[in-house]
């Protein structure tokens, strides 16, 4: 009985000690919208345990930029009025780091496998991201985003985010992930693409 109690206490201590690593968030122009976004990110990092979903801690908030992951993760002030969408943008860009940092050696076969399950996906904006390969790799990034959001805010709110984005940008990509979730997940499992190492 004492061993069981000790085990429970150790597990509880490890769970409670997990927290988002300190983020290095800076603004590009020091404007009010950028500062609001910076504060929003820092607040969300305190509200949610983002340790599993944070591969890079360096973040720039730039009102003139589209969200992107490299060379420095950059977010714009969009979604100041919707924490779920803001959080999804954060994990989306971190999801690119999962592919770039951990799976570079899988990119060619991954691309071929994704094209087999989603044939002739439109990749020009706003259907895709403008390039064929990157649009297909986005299937995996968006699946990582969806899984992270389910973990962080629950299935219902995560699905709301995916469906909202499906009508806003990367329309064909979000649609493909929503329609082919199981097949995309099987491919990811084949290459062990996941948030944890």
Residue 16 has pLDDT above 50, yes or no: no
Distance CA 16, CA 65 (A): 36
Q: At what angle do helices 132-153 and 107-117 cross, to 10 degrees?
A: 80
Question: Domain limits of the chain?
Answer: 20-102, 104-197
Distance CA 16, CA 8 (A): 12
Global pTM value:
0.90
Give, in order, the Cα–Cα distances in Å from 65 to each of 2, 26, 122, 179.
56, 14, 24, 30
Burial letters 55-87, b for 16+ CB under 10 A, else e: bbeebbbbeeeebebeeebbbbbbbeeebbbbb
CB atoms within 10 A of CB 109: 12
Q: pLDDT digit string (tens) for 140-194?
A: 999 999 999 999 999 999 999 999 999 999 999 999 999 999 999 999 999 999 9
Q: pLDDT digit string (tens) for 62-94?
A: 999 999 999 999 999 999 999 999 999 999 999
> How far does Cα 33 stand from its chain's mean position?
22
Residue 28 has pLDDT above 50, yes or no: yes
Instruction: Provide CB contacts within 8 A for 19, sequence distance 6+.
Output: 49, 51
pLDDT at 197 (0 to 100) = 80
């Amino acid at each position: 009985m004492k061993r069981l109690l000790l085990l429970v206490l150790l597990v509880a201590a490890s769970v409670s000690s997990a927290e988002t690593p300190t983020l290095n968030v800076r603004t590009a122009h020091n404007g009010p919208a950028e500062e609001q976004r910076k504060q929003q990110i820092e607040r969300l990092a305190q509200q949610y345990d983002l340790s599993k979903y944070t591969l890079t801690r360096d973040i720039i908030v730039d009102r003139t930029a589209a969200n992107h992951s490299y060379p420095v993760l950059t977010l714009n002030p969009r979604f100041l009025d919707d924490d779920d969408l803001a959080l999804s943008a954060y994990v989306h860009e971190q999801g690119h780091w999962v592919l770039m940092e951990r799976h570079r050696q899988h990119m060619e076969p991954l691309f071929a496998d994704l094209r087999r399950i989603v044939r002739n996906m439109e990749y020009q904006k706003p259907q895709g991201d403008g390039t064929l390969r990157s649009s297909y790799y986005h299937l995996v990034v968006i699946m990582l985003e969806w899984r992270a959001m389910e973990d962080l805010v629950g299935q219902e709110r995560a699905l709301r985010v995916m469906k909202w984005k499906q009508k806003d940008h990367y329309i064909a990509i979000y649609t493909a992930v929503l329609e082919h979730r199981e097949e995309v997940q099987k491919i990811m499992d084949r290459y062990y693409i996941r948030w944890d190492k």
